[in-house]
Amino acid sequence: MRETTLTSSTSTLVHTTLPSTYQVVQSVLKVLKRNSSAGRRGGDTQAQARAQAQIRGRKMAAGFKTVEPLEYYRRFLKENCRPDGRELGEFRTTTVNVGSIGTADGSSLVKLGNTTVICGIKAEFGAPPTDAPDKGYVVPNVDLSPLCSWRFRSGPPGEEAQVASQFIADVIENSQIIQKEDLCISSGKLAWVLYCDLICLNHDGNILDACTFALLAALKNVQLPEVTINEETALAEVNLKKKSYLNIRTHPVATSFAVFDDTLLIVDPTEEEEHLATGTLTVVMDEEGKLCCLHKPGGSGLTGAKLQDCMSRAVTRHKEVKKLMDEVFKSMKPK
pLDDT tens-digit map of 47-78: 666 666 556 556 555 665 666 778 888 888 88
116 contacts: CB under 8 Å, gap ≥ 6: 109, 110, 148, 200, 201, 202, 210
Residue 301 CB: number of other CB atoms within 10 A?
12
Sheet holding 253-260, edge to edge: 264-267, 253-260, 279-285, 291-295
Q: How far apart are CA 326 and CA 328, in angstroms?
A: 5
Could you give the dihedral angle defined by the CA atoms of residues 238, 244, 247 and 251, in that order, rounded to the nearest 10 degrees?
120
Band of the pLDDT at 314, cuts 50, 70, 90? very high
Highest mean pLDDT among 32-41, 148-157, 190-199: 190-199
Task: State whether residue 20 is helix, strand or coil.
Answer: coil
* pLDDT tens for each residue of 137-169: 999 999 999 989 988 988 889 999 999 999 999
- Residue 5 above 50 pLDDT? no
**Alpha-helix runs per DSSP H in 176-303:** 207-221, 271-276
**Alpha-helix runs per DSSP H in 98-192:** 159-175
Band of the pLDDT at 2, cuts 50, 70, 90? very low
Strands (E), the chain: 4-7, 94-98, 106-112, 115-126, 137-143, 184-186, 190-202, 223-229, 236-245, 253-260, 264-267, 279-285, 291-295
Task: State whether residue 111 is helix, strand or coil.
Answer: strand
Among 183, 189, 186, residue whose Cα is nearest residue 127: 189
Q: How far apart are CA 110 and CA 228, in angstroms?
A: 35
Cα distances (angstroms) measured from residue 233 to each of 127, 133, 190, 237, 278: 17, 21, 14, 10, 61
The whole-chain average pLDDT of the chain stands at 84
* DSSP annotation of 9: -
- Residue 178 above 60 pLDDT? yes
Region of 35 on the Ramachandran plot (φ > 0 left; ψ -120 to 50 alpha; else beta): alpha
At 107, give phi and psi (nearest 5°).
-155, 165
Task: Please name the amino acid found at residue 331.
Answer: S
- Please state the pTM of the whole predicted model: 0.80
> Cβ distance 312 to 291 under 8 Å?
no
Q: How far apart are CA 118 and CA 112, in angstroms?
A: 12
pLDDT at 302: 85
> Cβ distance 141 to 195 under 8 Å?
yes
Among 93, 107, 189, 197, residue whose Cα is nearest residue 145: 197
- In the chain, pLDDT over 70 holds for what percent of residues? 79
- In the chain, pLDDT over 90 holds for what percent of residues? 58
Residue 88 CB: number of other CB atoms within 10 A?
15
At 27, give phi and psi (nearest 5°).
-65, -35
Give the mean model confidence (pLDDT) for residues 23-31: 50
